[in-house]
C-alpha cells in the first residue's frame, strides 16, 4: 500500500524532529502494510521554504538510513505546497518540487480556516499548464462542509483530492469525520495518506482505515485509490480515464433532519 502524504523527513518542517522519530514512524507504517511513502514536507512561504534540491537530498539521506536499519519502505520525494499566487510559474520553473519530481502532479494545501480568493484560479492554471493539483486533506477545510458541490466541481476541472486517514476517526473533530465519511461514500477522494508528523497514533490507523474505506466506498474503489491511481501518479502517468466518477449518496443523520425542519443549511 502507498501512503501518499507524510512529514517524515527529520528536521525539515513541523514533522519528525529527529532521525530516530522518522525511523519509529517508518517501522510502524511497515507493520501496518505500507510499502511506499511520499515524503511531503511543507512549503509554506515565509516559514518553510524548502527547495527541490533540499528535499531530494533529504529524501535520499533518509532512504539510506532506512535501508541501513533494515526497514523496508520506499520513500518518494514530494512537497505539500501552501497555495500562493505565482506558484504555477514556480512549479514550471522547477523552484517547487512536484510529486516524485515528475513535473506532472503536485500536492497543494489551503489554510484550514480560509480558502484564499485566488486558490481556484491557481489550481485551474496548474491544470492548463499540465500539472495536476492534488488537494491535501479536503475534509479539514471547514468552509467546504456545507455540501459536497464544491468538491464535486473539482472532478470536472481535473483537480484531485487526497484524504488523510485520521479524519475518518475523529482525530480532527466530529464534523471533519462526518464530512470525510461523506467524501468516501461519494467517491470524491482519489488518494489516501497518513499526514504523519511523527511516530504518533496516526501511523497506526492504516489497518482500520482500510476496513473503513472498503465499508464506505466499496472494495473496487478502495483498490483504485490505494493502489492503481497512486502507482500511476508516482510514475507521472495520465490517470484521467481511471478516476472514479463521483456518486450521489446521502446519509441519514438526526442533525440533518433537525436542520431541515429548522430551515438551516447542512451537509447533504
Ligand atoms: Fe501535511
Summarised one tens digit per residue, pLDDT across range 178-218 is: 999 999 999 999 999 999 999 988 899 999 999 999 999 99
Distance between CA atoms of residues 129 and 125, nearest Å: 6
How many angstroms does the Cα of residue 5 sit away from the middle of ligand 1? 6
Least confident range from 86-95, 115-124, 248-257: namely 248-257
Element (H, E) at 82: strand 74-82
pLDDT computed for residue 266 by the predictor: 41
Q: Is 201 helix (H, G, I), strand (E, B) or coil?
A: helix
- Angle, helices 19-31 vs 52-68, to 10°: value is 70
Q: Is the pLDDT of residue 225 over 80?
A: yes
How many angstroms does the Cα of residue 198 sit away from the middle of ligand 1? 11
Mean pLDDT over 242-257 rounds to 72
How many angstroms does the Cα of residue 258 sit away from the middle of ligand 1? 35
C-alpha cell at 268: 447533504
Torsion of the alpha carbons at 234, 101, 53 and 191, rounded to the nearest 10: -40
How many angstroms does the Cα of residue 193 sit away from the middle of ligand 1? 9
The number of domains in the chain is 1
User: How do beta strands 160-164 and 105-109 pair?
Assistant: unpaired
Mean pLDDT over 241-264 rounds to 69
**Residue 95 forms part of a structural domain:** yes
Q: Are 21 and 27 in contact (CB under 8 A)?
A: no
How many angstroms does the Cα of residue 16 sit away from the middle of ligand 1? 12
**Largest Cα–Cα distance in the chain?**
62
How many angstroms does the Cα of residue 203 sit away from the middle of ligand 1? 13
Distance between CA atoms of residues 131 and 124, nearest Å: 10
DSSP structure class, residue 263: T
Could you give phi then psi for residue 124, rounded to 5 degrees? -65, -35
How many angstroms does the Cα of residue 26 sit away from the middle of ligand 1? 16
Q: Are 90 and 106 in contact (CB under 8 A)?
A: no
Q: Are 9 and 16 in contact (CB under 8 A)?
A: yes
Q: Are 138 and 145 in contact (CB under 8 A)?
A: no
**Residue 125 forms part of a structural domain:** yes
User: Closest Cα partner for 8 from 225, 193, 250?
Assistant: 193
How many angstroms does the Cα of residue 252 sit away from the middle of ligand 1? 31
Mean pLDDT over 125-147 rounds to 94
pLDDT computed for residue 248 by the predictor: 82
- Angle, helices 206-217 vs 174-185, to 10°: value is 50
How many angstroms does the Cα of residue 186 sit away from the middle of ligand 1? 23
**Residue 268 forms part of a structural domain:** no
Distance between CA atoms of residues 125 and 4, nearest Å: 23
Mean pLDDT over 104-127 rounds to 96
pLDDT computed for residue 192 by the predictor: 98
Per-residue pLDDT of 45-77, as tens digits, reads 999 999 999 999 999 999 999 999 999 999 999
C-alpha cell at 13: 518542517
How many angstroms does the Cα of residue 110 sit away from the middle of ligand 1? 11
Name the residue range of residue 77's domain: 2-262
Mean pLDDT over 117-138 rounds to 97
Mean pLDDT over 131-148 rounds to 93
Q: Is the pLDDT of residue 264 over 90?
A: no
pLDDT computed for residue 265 by the predictor: 44
How many angstroms does the Cα of residue 259 sit away from the middle of ligand 1? 33
Could you give the count of Cα atoms lying within 13 Å of 135 in the half-sphere of its Cβ?
28
pLDDT computed for residue 267 by the predictor: 42
How many angstroms does the Cα of residue 1 sit away from the middle of ligand 1? 18
For the domain that residue 158 is a member of, what is the CATH number? Answer: 3.20.20.140
Q: Are 203 and 26 in contact (CB under 8 A)?
A: no
How many angstroms does the Cα of residue 106 sit away from the middle of ligand 1? 13
- Compute the mean pLDDT over every residue in the chain, rounded to the nearest whole number: 93
**Residue 53 forms part of a structural domain:** yes
How many angstroms does the Cα of residue 108 sit away from the middle of ligand 1? 9
How many angstroms does the Cα of residue 247 sit away from the middle of ligand 1? 27
**Residue 196 forms part of a structural domain:** yes
pLDDT confidence tier of residue 254, bands split at 50, 70 and 90: low
Q: Is the pLDDT of residue 166 over 80?
A: yes
Q: How many CB atoms lie within 10 A of CB 171?
A: 16
pTM of structure: 0.92
**Residue 267 forms part of a structural domain:** no
pLDDT confidence tier of residue 251, bands split at 50, 70 and 90: low
How many angstroms does the Cα of residue 81 sit away from the middle of ligand 1? 9
Residue 199's Cβ-count burial label (10 Å; 0-12, 13-18, 19+) is buried
Rg (CA), the chain: 18
**Residue 225 forms part of a structural domain:** yes
Amino acid at each position: 500500500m502507498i501512503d501518499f502524504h507524510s512529514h517524515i523527513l527529520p528536521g525539515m518542517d513541523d514533522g519528525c524532529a529527529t532521525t530516530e522519530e522518522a525511523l519509529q514512524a517508518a517501522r510502524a507504517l511497515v507493520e501496518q502494510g505500507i510499502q511506499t511513502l511520499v515524503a511531503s514536507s511543507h512549503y509554506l512561504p515565509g516559514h518553510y521554504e524548502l527547495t527541490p534540491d533540499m528535499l531530494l537530498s533529504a529524501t535520499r539521506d533518509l532512504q539510506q538510513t532506512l535501508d541501513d536499519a533494515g526497514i523496508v519502505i520506499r520513500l518518494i520525494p514530494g512537497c505539500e505546497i501552501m497555495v500562493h499566487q505565482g506558484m504555477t510559474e514556480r512549479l514550471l520553473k522547477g523552484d517547487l518540487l512536484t510529486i516524485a519530481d515528475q513535473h506532472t502532479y503536485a500536492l497543494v494545501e489551503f489554510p484550514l480556516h480560509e480558502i484564499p480568493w485566488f486558490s481556484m484560479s491557481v489550481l485551474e492554471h496548474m491544470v492548463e499548464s499540465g500539472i495536476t493539483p492534488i488537494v491535501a486533506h479536503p475534509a479539514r477545510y471547514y468552509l467546504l462542509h456545507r455540501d459536497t458541490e464544491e468538491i464535486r466541481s473539482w472532478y470536472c476541472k481535473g483537480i484531485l483530492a487526497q484524504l488523510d486517514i485520521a479524519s475518518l476517526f475523529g482525530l480532527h473533530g466530529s464534523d471533519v469525520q462526518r464530512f470525510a465519511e461523506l467524501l468516501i461514500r461519494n467517491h470524491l477522494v482519489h488518494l489516501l495518506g497518513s499526514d504523519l508528523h511523527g511516530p504518533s497514533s496516526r501511523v497506526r490507523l492504516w489497518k482500520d482505515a482500510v476496513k473503513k474505506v472498503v465499508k464506505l466506498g466499496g472494495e473496487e474503489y478502495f483498490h483504485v485509490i490505494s493502489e492503481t491511481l497512486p502507482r500511476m501518479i508516482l510514475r507521472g502517468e495520465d490517470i484521467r480515464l481511471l478516476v472514479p466518477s463521483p456518486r450521489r449518496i446521502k446519509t441519514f443523520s438526526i442533525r440533518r433532519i433537525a436542520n431541515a425542519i429548522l430551515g438551516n443549511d447542512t451537509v447533504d
